[in-house]
Chain A
Amino acid sequence: MILQLIVTGLALGSMYGLVALGYHITWATSRTMNFSQGQTVMAGAVVAYTFFVALGWPFVPAVIATLGCLAAFGAGIERIAVRPFFRAASPAWLLSTIACGIIAENVAMLTFGKDARAFPSALTQRPILMGGAGFYPQELLIPCVGFLLMAAVQGFYHHTAYGKQLKAVAYNPEAAGLMGIHLPRAVMSAYILSALLAGIAGVLLAPVLNVAATMGTIIGLKAFAVAIIGGLTSAPGIIVAGLGYGLVESFVAGYLSTGAREIIGFGLVILVLIVRPWGLLGAKPARRI
């Protein structure tokens, strides 16, 4: 039982962490966020379903096509909903990205349908039995891919030339511009990367959760909660918070009830923010007079 809860918790938690990293990446480079990140998760699942199941494409081209669509989605959100309001101090970008999410969900509902569909996968056919617990190979695959991707993102930021440029933009956009870094392109890259992470999470979760137009909202919200608990400015904090949130959820659902899961999960968010207003590892923004 405990083993099973841990596996489920890590699987979900690593996905929350992955999606939450998307919030962090765009926040760090532009102090804006894609509030339709949850719908991006859904888009990943729906598009993958379309290519892989509905159109019957082989696995690899289907995944590549899906990633292409997600990158375009991220770039589109940045161009339409964020860039026009980039310098405005108002939270217009918050509302415009929510609006894009609402529209995306409705479009998915019209094209994909209102009902949830199962995503067939070889990894959810037969459960593995281990120590009295049973789980699908997919549930083991999810955290592995999740960890790999999180490590890859960190590697991209710390060890590639373009990653270092993005890091410089996050640290001090004005100085980065003076170095010759193309700022609008950097922000767009951050949005594309962020959409890719969310979309991959959608593809990975599809076989476990089923695909539906409305599947994204709650994942997006929980990932946002994770990003806030961890501290929007801290990637390590977010990864820790993601795993922690997944485990808490899994154990509450296992020992109390699924209904209590949301109450306790979001209650914890408020508690954490009361104790640490800028997240576990986040830094308080300096007050400028």
Chain B
Amino acid sequence: MNGLALSGVTGGYGSIQVLREISLRVHPGEIVTIVGVNGAGKTTLLRSIAGVLKSWRGQITLDGESIIGHPSYWVARRGLVLVPEGRGIFGDQTVRENLLLGTLARRDGKDAAAIGRDLERSLTLFPALRERLDGLAGGLSGGQQQMLALARGIMAAPKVLLLDEPSLGLSPILVRQIFEAIGRLRQEGLTVLLVEQMAGQALALADRAYVLEQGRITLEGAASQVRENPSVMQAYLGRNRVT
């Protein structure tokens, strides 16, 4: 089984259960999105996959190998890299240093030529970073920090890149730029699992989609179909009270 596969994953924080029997697939070369309102459990799901949180039950495999129960650094080095919500950049190091820290999880033995190629690719994708390469990452604007976080994810040359709310706190123009960049990455063959609250843009970009509601997957299918489904709108803006 190639790609990322979850089956029956249950988990949460402490004793509070958030995820209820999640099963999903991400095939190589796909962009899959998980949409749902704030609090549906999207971030918890990504953090559980990446090994930041320990899942309680279920199976998670990457290219057929079980990755459940391992710490985050182990999972990252297997080729599954999470760009976390809040970006997680290292503000006291330069943009270049941040990008190079991204290469730790590479599986190609730190091949200098390949690293150089990926660096060039990231900087072409986000020209704003090229100008600030030797400036401290903490001095970047919110949008540039998000670009840096994405670029750093690319530097790891991952099998699957997990993106947690890349649009968070960004102005609409920046959100569009970020989404365009993700679209271009897909053309280069990157596999992405994207978690988004901005369902409109995420669904326009993705191949397939899952809708997460209260820790459960309530709908799945081709992104275009999910987009047309009226229950998505309801999940976001509320149904009338059932009386």
> Is A–B contact present in the complex under a CB 8 A cutoff?
yes
Which A residues lie at the B interface, using CB under 8 A?
161, 164-165, 167-168, 171-172, 174-183
Q: Distance (Å) between the CB of A55 and the closest chain B CB? A: 41
A171 near B50 with CB under 8 A, answer no
Please determine whether B92 and A179 come into contact, CB atoms closer than 8 angstroms.
no
Chain A CB within 8 A of B52 CB: yes
Beyond known contacts A171-B90, A179-B104, A181-B104: 7 more, CB 8 A cutoff: A167-B93, A175-B84, A177-B76, A178-B76, A180-B73, A180-B81, A182-B73
Q: Which residues from chain B contact A174 at a C-beta distance below 8 Å?
A: 52, 72, 84, 88
B89 within 8 A of A: yes
- Nearest chain A CB to B176 CB, angstrom units: 26
Of residues 87 through 146 on chain B, the ones whose CB sits less than 8 Å from some CB of chain A are: 88-93, 97, 100-102, 104-105
* Inter-chain contacts of A180 with B (CB < 8 A): 73, 76-77, 81, 104-105, 156
Task: Specify the chain B residue showing the minimal Cβ separation from A175.
Answer: B88
A171 to B93, CA, bound (A): 9
Q: Interface code B29-43, partner A: CB below 8 Å = 1, 0 otherwise?
A: 000000000000000
Q: Of the candidates A168, A177, A183, which one forms a contact with B93 in the assembled complex, judged by CB atoms under 8 Å apart?
A: A168
Is B154 an interface residue, CB under 8 A from the partner?
Answer: no
Interface presence of B82 (CB below 8 A): yes
Contact, CB under 8 Å: B91 / A171: yes
Q: Is B189 interfacial (CB 8 A cutoff)?
A: no
A178 x B84 contact (CB < 8 A): yes
Listed by A's residue number, 8 A-B pairs whose Cβ atoms lie within 8 Å are A165-B101, A174-B84, A178-B76, A178-B81, A179-B73, A179-B152, A181-B101, A183-B73
Bound form: Cα–Cα A284–B187 in Å:
45
- Contacting residues, chain B, for A182 (C-beta < 8 A): 73
Interface contact B104-A172, CB-CB below 8 Å? no
The chain B residue sitting closest to A177, CB to CB, is: B72
**With a CB–CB cut-off of 8 A, which chain A residues contact B183?**
none
CA distance A7 to B73 in the complex (A): 47
